[in-house]
Structure formats: C-alpha cells, structure tokens
Structure 1
Amino acid sequence: MDYRSFSIEEFVADAYFQRWVLSEEETADIYWKKWLQDHPEQRQDILEAAAILRSMHFTANEPTEEDAAQVWRDIVKNRSTGRYKVKNQKIMAFPWYAVAASIALVLAVTFVMLKVQDVNHALFGISYQTEFGQTQELILPDGSSVVLGANSSLHYSSGWLGDSERTVSLEGEAYFSVVHTEDDQKFVVYSDEVAITVLGTRFNVNNRRDENQILLEEGSIRLSLPQAINKSEKVEVNMQPGELVSVQEGKITKAIAQTEKYISWTAGVFVFEKAPLSEVIELIEDHFGYTVITQGVEPEEMIMTAELRTTDLDMMLRYLSEIFQLKVEKTHETITLSST
C-alpha cells in the first residue's frame, strides 16, 4: 500500500493503520514507526488520524445466524402481506445461508458508511471525555501531554498544528505539560471565559462550580478574562510558579499555594491539608458523581489532613467515618453522612 498520498480520512479508514493505533500488534507498530521515520512530512496527518481513531470508540457487531434468520422470517412475513413483491423462483434459488450472507453484507456496508460519517464529524474537531472516577492521559499532536481529570472534557480542532495558535477548550479539570515550539507558537487553554496563554510550562486548571482555579507549577502564563463590569474589555494577569489564581463572578484572587495539593490527583492521590469536610464533600461530588447529604454535622468545622487514593471512594468514606465518627450510607446516586 502506498500511503504517501493518503489524507487524514484515508488513514483513519485504513485497517492496517487502525490495527497500529487501536491494538498492540508488534508487526504493525514496527512498520508504522519506520514509515513515520521515512516520511516526516506526514507526521501531522498521522498524529491527527490517530487522535481521531482514539476518540471515536466505535465497535462493530457482526450479525449472528439467528439475526439473519429473523430478518429472513420478517421478509417472508412481509411478502405474504403484500409489502414486498418477489417472484417465488428467485426466492427459492437462494439457500438461507446466501440470504444471510447478503444481509451481513448490507449490515457491513451500513456500518462502513456510518463509520465514514463519524470520521467526517470527527474531522471538525477532536474531543476526549472522561467519566466519573476516571482520569485519562493524552498526548497532543505537538507532543504536549495532558492528564484529564474525572468528568472532564477536552477539545481541539483537527487542523491544530497548522493554526497560528495551539488552542484547546476545557470543561472540568486538567493538568497540562506544554512543549515549546521552535517558532514560539502560543498554546491557549480556554476555560469558560478565561483564556490561559503559554509558550511552554506545567499548570493545572479546574473550572468547576462556577469558579476557575489556575495553579502554575513551572514556567509562566498569562490569563485573559473579561472585566466584571464591562465584559467587552479584558483584564490580563501574569502568573509565576507556585501561584494560584481564582476567578469567580468576575472577582480575581491571587495567592501562593502548596503546589502538591492541586496536582497530586494526577499521581492518583488526593492531598488534604487542614481541609474542612465541606471541601472533601465537593471533591466527592465532582470526581465520583454522587450527591452528598449531611445530617447533624457541621462540614465547615470538621478539619482533616490526609492523603487518599483517587480511585478508592469506599476507602475515603471509611476514613471519614473513622476520624469524624460518622455513619455513612451509600446508594446508587447519594451518600449520606450523619452523626452517630
């Protein structure tokens, strides 16, 4: 196969390329890495096609013999009611397995058409979405990395590397490690109304509960956001490592923060340093998707210091129960914390 003239759409639809991106087949991995080495001019198309495949998450289900037989029974039934007019000898000329094969072919062609439609939609942009309790590590086309937090989404355009700026939009929480390009191409994160502009740095963004929190670990970034009074004018805030900027209802606050507290989740740990129970409750709701109800307790007055695993909600609840002497009841959608 001559891949030199392939478009992004053709790479996405190619079975051997799909095997490389979506499986761990060693032969395909060796081939495509060598091919990419020999054809660096198509690196951008390759990376974008791979990102599209990973974001599609489609599955193909082949019809079973029973499915095909049922379709055939429906055809016979509908024919008897006059919906389909087919000559008897042509029907009898085909054994049932030939009909089943034809049906399978129609379903396969339909799947391919749907797959192509999915690709065309994906070409307008590439999106990633995490579920409650899930995090995902991403490598962007420029080599920058992102750890996407639970119940969060990240989106960027398919023509990303060709734009004057590398722009992504975020809902939820993410930790960015941005690479610096030779042409000093800006990297911009849009988080609600806040635009975060960088050249190369490490930072965390959290835009939950009508508040934007930006923590800078390394490098420097500039925030651009609308004024509270006059939305048409912008306010710019420059940040230095170790600073935390919060933006809520047009009010901007800047403080020196304990970096580990805000980025430890990327390593699978929640760090609470003299944190009230109310802060832990908000995190449980945002990260795991439960509604937390309190009965007979004062969450603001109950302070804790701990390091807890991000993947183990039950352990977190046991810890809260022990240190605060709480009764914990968990259903499918709610968690109730009450005094014992």
Structure 2
Amino acid sequence: MKFSEYKLKDFIQDESFKNWVNKTNPDDILQWEAWLGSNPHKRSLANEAAAIIRGINFKKNQVSRQMIDAGWLRVTQQIAYNQNMGNSTPEETRQPFFTRQMVAVWAGLLLATIIGVIYYKTTGKLQYKTGYGETTTIVLPDKSTVVLNSNSKLTLTDNWSISKDREVWLEGEAFFSVQKKPGQGNARFIVHTDDMEVKVLGTKFNVNNRKSRTKVVLNSGKVALSAQELAPGKSTLMQPGELAELRADNKEFVKKKVNPLIYSSWIHKKLLFDDTSIRDIATLLENNYGFQVEVNDSTLMDRRLTGEVYVEDVETLLKALSKSFQLDIAHQGNTLILKGK
C-alpha cells in the first residue's frame, strides 16, 4: 500500500512510521520527513497517529522526572511571568487545552504552552479559574509558581506583604513550586482547601481537592497539614514521597509512600499510571473533562494499567485508553460509554 493511501490505522501499524515517531532509525526518519514534506496534506493525520503511538508506548523504565520538573518550571514560570507583565485587562484570552501551540523543547521533550484561565478581581481578592480540559500557569506576587489543572479555581488576596502569611484558596487541583519569602522574615505559605490547610516553607507539591476530599503529594521540602474545623488539634508533617489525606471516619491524617511524579505528571501533558484502575481513570475523565462515564460491565472497572499516556488532547487520550485497556469508547454528547472488546 502506498503511503498516500494510508488511513489512521495504517500509520499506526507501520513499523517504519513508528521508527520515525520514536526517532529510532535514521533511514526511516529521513524517508518520512521527505514524504511528509512532499505531502503536507497528510501531516495532520500523521501527527494524530504519532500522538496515539506516543500515548500507548509504555516503557518499564520511565524517564527521570526530577530534571524535567526543574526545566518545566523554569519554562512555564517565564511564560506566565511574561503573560502577567503584559496583561492590562481583567480577563485573559481563553484557549482550549488541546490547542497545538508548541513553546519549548527541553531535555529532548516537547512541551506545550497551556493557557486557558479566567482571571478576575473581587473585593480584595484575585481569582484564576480553568474550565474542563484547560490548564494554566500562574506566577504569584512572590514569584512562586502554580500550575492550575482543569476545572479548578485559585483565589488569593491582592495585598501580600513580607510580614504576613501568603495564603491561597484552592478548589480542584494544582501543582505548587513555592519560593522562600523574599526579604526579612519567613512568613508561611498556606494553601486552604475545604477540609484542610497545607502550610509550606519552600517546596514542591501537588494538591488535589475534589468532591470535598483533599490529597496532598509532596515532591520536595516539607509541609505541615492541619484541619482545625474538621479535626481540631490534629496535624501531621509530611516528608518527600508521601501522600496524605484526612480520613472522614476517624478524623485522622493517613499517609503512604508513593511516586510523586505520577501525581504531577499532568503538568507535562502526560499521565503516568501505576496499577491504575478504570474506576480511577473514569473519575479523572469526570473531574478534568466534565464527562459522565457509563460502564456496561462492572468487572471492567477493576482492569488496571501501568504505563504512560501522552495527552495531546482529550480525543487522543480516549484513543490511547481504548487501545491500552482494550475498550470500545462511545462518545454520546457529554457521556462516555465504555464497553469491553
């Protein structure tokens, strides 16, 4: 079959095309670059196939994310800082998460600019809000960086000072890279959710506050958790590599060791799964993309996956999940219907 007759599945199944996507064979790379250069009308379809191949290319040995975190945060902080400096209107331009606008290549990884935030002021407060399928990077007044995930809201006061605690209020999910307080004094950095407070002094961590339940994952540094309203007098100190949440039944903080890169991989437009069930992925699709998920066979909910999915847009994600889990995914309006193959 000639390349010009290729459909999506033909690109995905072609070994030489896979070599071009994964940059593993120089001859195939040259061949496909030349062919795509002569057939630009096929570029969009080839890119879609490449995204799916990346999404289902699971590896036992993951690329180190510590170095990627550092590079990503430097890139996104500069991008967001430039946006904030040039923003003179109360509302920023909204763009969808799946806009294909590339902004940087770092350590051989392609990063994308992700802008899609509503910014507005209320009395004494600043608020940033993302819709379904949107993320944004925010540089706070102290130069701390927040990557706000889909369907989330961050609120802060507009009068931070050296002598006062730096406080933000989160609904949804965000990744924080907190700077030490500039100037004299070490005023705390506090993240408030509806059930706890996360107190910080220079660290990186992920906070997920969905359905009145907060999970905190610490990448580096130290944070102290408390919940004065729900569990007066109870607190805990977290160490890097721990996940902590407040149990509603006995009002105790529960901690466990995890790979923190799994919980913050979304800031790199990738999702890392570690023995993750379809049940958990269905929750992610509901929280981050606003879908209602229906499953025709309850046994499917316990299928599990370990690997990495490249998230270029929600359709690419669904195709990758369909192939990885051996599912048929029907899209009817705002509802996803999952069936086993």
TM normalised by structure 2 equals 0.62
Give 1:306 shift: 2.3
State the one-letter code of the partner of 2:296: Q
Partner Cα distance (2:90, 2:233) in 1: 34
Aligned partner of 1:221 in structure 2 is 223
Between 169-178 and 304-313, report the one with greater CA deviation.
304-313
Give the counterpart letter for 2:236 in structure 1: V
The number of aligned residues is: 232
Matched, 1:240 2:275: no
Cα deviation for residue 314 of structure 1 reads: 1.8
- Aligned partner of 1:176 in structure 2 is 176
Identity across matched positions, percent: 29
1:327 alignment counterpart: 328
Letter in 2 for 1:219: G
Q: What pairs up with 1:66-77 in 2 under 5 angstroms? A: none
- Counterpart Cα distance in 2 of 1:199 and 1:279: 31
- Whether the 8 Å contact between 1:52 and 1:126 is mirrored in structure 2 is no
Preserved contact between residue 188 and residue 196 of structure 1 (Cα < 8 Å)? yes
Q: Using the alignment, how far apart are the partners of 2:193 and 2:267 within structure 1?
A: 19
Q: Which has the higher contact order (CA 8 A, sep 6+)?
A: 2
Distance 2:90 2:226 in 1: 30
Q: 1:209: Cα distance to partner?
A: 2.7
Say which SS state the counterpart of residue 141 (structure 2) adopts. Answer: coil
Deviation of 1:247 after TM superposition, in Å, equals 2.0
Question: How far apart, CA to CA, are the structure 1 residues paired with 2:300 and 2:317?
Answer: 16
Report deviation, 1:224.
0.9
Matches within 5 A, 1:155-304: 155-161=155-161, 164-181=164-181, 182=183, 183-226=185-228, 231=231, 233-249=232-248, 250-304=251-305
Rg larger in structure:
1
Any conservation in 2 of the 1:247–1:253 contact (CA below 8 Å)? yes
Q: 2:317 and 2:305 mapped to 1: Cα distance? A: 12
Q: 1:51 to 1:149 in 2, by over 3 A?
A: farther
Unpaired runs of 5+ residues, structure 1, are: 1-46, 60-117
Write out per-residue CA displacement over residues 278-306 of structure 1, whole angstroms, 9 at most, x where no aligned residue.
11111111111111110024244201112
1:98-154 alpha-carbon deviations (Å, 9 max, x no partner): xxxxxxxxxxxxxxxxxxxx98x5452100001111110010001100000110000
**How far did residue 205 of structure 1 move?**
0.3
Give the aligned partner of residue 73 of structure 2. none
CA distance, structure 1, for counterparts of residue 89 and residue 140 of structure 2: 12
Letter of the aligned partner of 1:138 in structure 2? Answer: I
Cα RMSD between the aligned structures? 2.7
TM-superposed deviation, 1:54 = 5.8
Paired letter, 2:316? M
Question: Displacement, 1:192?
Answer: 1.2
- 8 Å Cα contact 1:200-1:219 kept in structure 2: yes
List runs of 5+ in structure 2 lacking aligned partners.
Answer: 1-81, 95-118
Q: CA deviation at 1:259?
A: 1.2
Equivalent residue letter for 1:269: K
Helix, strand or coil: the match of 1:196?
strand
In 1, are the aligned partners of 2:175 and 2:207 still within 8 Å (CA)?
yes
Cα distance change of structure 1 residues 51 and 293 upon mapping to structure 2, 3 Å threshold: farther
Shift of 1:53: 4.3
**Bigger helix fraction:** 1
Deviation at 1:51, TM superposition (A): 9.7
AA partner of residue 146 (structure 1): V
